[in-house]
Structure 1
Amino acid sequence: MAVFNLGSVNADLFYRLPHMPAPGETLAALSHDRGLGGKGANMSVAVARAGARAVHIGAVGPDGVWMRERLERYGVDVAHLALHEGPSGHAVIYLDPEGENSIVIFPGTNRQIAETDMTAALDAAQSGDIAVFQNETNLQRAFAETARAKGLTVAYAAAPFEAAAVQEVLDLLDLLVMNRIEAEQLQAATGLAPEKLPVRQVVITLGAEGCRWIDTVSGESRDFPAPKVQVVDTTGAGDTFTGYLMAGLDRGEDMATAITLAQRAAALKVTRAGTADAIPTRDEVLAAG
């Protein structure tokens, strides 16, 4: 089994600030770091570190070869991470003393993925594998259609949120993952509460309050409290959760079991600075209790 991830790969540029800048304000950063990131790369690393096979589908530029090598070192299959001309994606991330963030993304080659590369990657997929995607690349609808035709479970993390992008793929989804604000925005755009969406499984992350799982077919809804931890950096916590969730489902775990470990992984991640480089392994999550 495997998780096929159409996802972004970004160089994350971190600036730790005394506070978030006000309009027109100039601030001196307290520190600066560069790491591997992008919602797609974070999820692929989380899948791999959770012990499942992650196949990453995407593109980087010549300046992103180091990111491809790092993904491979973390156990991600990068055979379908293409090298294109032009700059790779990157993100500028501001962090305040409480670990909250503000992010600006430059898409770069993440929006230049060739459809032939995507379909070639999915040629190796088998019925029962998982296909996951986000909103930082092109080809979302084509990817979901191709994965659905091959009998894959189609999962979507609706971030960065765009109501139109979500509505374009809703009819193809088996699992939709959103945070609370995204769920509210989607309801405002569609007029449908989460339990009324045409998607069987809906997971809404609630930050420090945990998450809510909704089975829209049975009508079952269950809340899962989040572990209490000392927050250092929230960047990538949602991606860690989603990647671990995909890995658990890929291993055949039920939703409750997969969510529980995914929440523990995300909680451990926020105690560490960084994004993909800071995602914990399954052994670390289990040892943390």
Structure 2
Amino acid sequence: MIYSLGSINADHVYRLLHLPTPGETLAADTCTRMLGGKGANQSIAAVRAGACVVHIGALGPDGNWMRDALADAGVDVTHVTEAGTASGHAIVMVDASGENTIVIHPGANRALNPSQIEVALRDARPGDWLLMQNETNCQGEAARIARSQGLQVAYSAAPFDMDAVRAVMPFVSLLILNAVEDAQLLQEMSVVDVPMRLVTRGAKGAEWVDEKSGKAVFVPAFRVPAIETTGAGDCFAGYAVAGLATGFAPAQALRRASAAAALQVQRPGASEAIPTAAEVDAFLNAHD
């Protein structure tokens, strides 16, 4: 079982010929609204990878359609509560090459409280996983509660915030960062005191490091034509943690996550572009 403490956003996606420069006004070619947020993306990725996922989060009165979308994707939304503020939302600008710029308003994602998390984790068992990232509050409290109950804690340190990382670090089992975040972390901390670290390097692949033994596993990225990179890191993280939670070795979990991300970037959108386990299996069979 994976408990996913994470953001739920309404993504307003604008497609443009190029990303605007300072002071520039551009007309978008298209505009769409869809379910997003790092937490929602990771939850859906983990479900599509084959894991059972309980999402812990909050929405405003305007967020019923997002709760329904999560439920339709197979995510347990019992512990998605309603807050007295607007739902989180993001403005996503995507250029013709698939690169993006994102502005996020946290909204209800920052309205969580520790008691909600205690209730959500009441039925969790040792060996279950808590998956988190930095778009909500209460990460430190959630990690502490989870570890006290024997859960593994996977933490995507994005968007990167050193204070948040320090608060969570004592409880983390698996720290997930991209290459930029990893460099920021190593600038601040000479020793990364976590059992496992997973660093994603985009088109260069991903590396798993067992910090205690020093053993590392490197998985190359699949070469594919990218349409859009939005949510690819969340797809990778959700698939990787789902693989570990269902018993895959790190090398196998990372390879499946790499294949899932390769399929994701060939499609427009974020959560709706995340592939199913069957699609990932077919892709891997074709590339063996």
Judge same fold: TM > 0.5, yes or no. yes
Question: Could you say what secondary structure the match of 1:126 adopts?
Answer: coil
Match of 1:243 among 238, 246, 261: 238
CA shift digits 1:213-241 (9 cap, x unpaired): 11111111232110011101100000000
How far does residue 278 in structure 1 lie from its aligned partner after superposition? Answer: 1.2
Aligned to 1:157: 156
> Where does structure 1 differ by over 6 angstroms across 4 or more consecutive aligned residues?
none
Q: Distance between the aligned counterparts of 1:23 and 1:179, measured in 2? A: 26
Unaligned runs of 5+ in 1: none
Query: Does the 8 Å contact 2:186/2:192 carry over to 1?
Result: no
Secondary structure, counterpart of 2:63 in structure 1: helix
Q: Deviations over 1:27-69 (max 9, x none)?
A: 0001111110000000000011111101000000111100000
Q: Provide Cα deviations, 1:10-33, integer angstroms capped at 9, x if missing partner.
A: 001101111111110000001111
Deviation, structure 1 residue 117: 1.2
Q: How many residues align?
A: 284
**Other-structure match for 2:263:** 268
Q: Which moved more, 1:214-223 or 1:96-105?
A: 214-223
Give the CA deviation at 1:92: 0.4
Provide structure 2 residue ranges, at least 5 long, that are not aligned to the other structure: none
TM-score, normalised via structure 2 length: 0.97
Q: Distance in 2 between matches of 1:142 and 1:167?
A: 13
Match of 2:183?
Answer: 184
Distance 1:206 1:87 in 2: 34
Alpha-carbon RMSD: 0.8
Q: What's the offset of the Cα at 1:168? A: 1.6
Following the alignment from structure 1 to structure 2, what is the Cα–Cα distance between the partners of residues 182 and 163?
Answer: 10
- 1:191-225 per-residue CA deviation (whole Å, 9 max, x = no partner) reads x2xxx411111010000011111111111123211
In the alignment, the residues of structure 1 paired with residue 216 and residue 246 of structure 2 have an alpha-carbon distance, to the nearest angstrom, of 23
Aligned to 1:122: 121
Aligned to 2:110: 111
Task: Name the residue aligned to 1:13.
Answer: 12
Partner of 1:221: 216
Structure 2 partner of 1:38: 37
Matched residue, 2:172: 173
TM-score, structure 1 normalization:
0.97
TM-fit CA distance, 1:114: 2.3
Percent of aligned pairs with the same amino acid: 49
2:61 maps to which residue?
Answer: 62
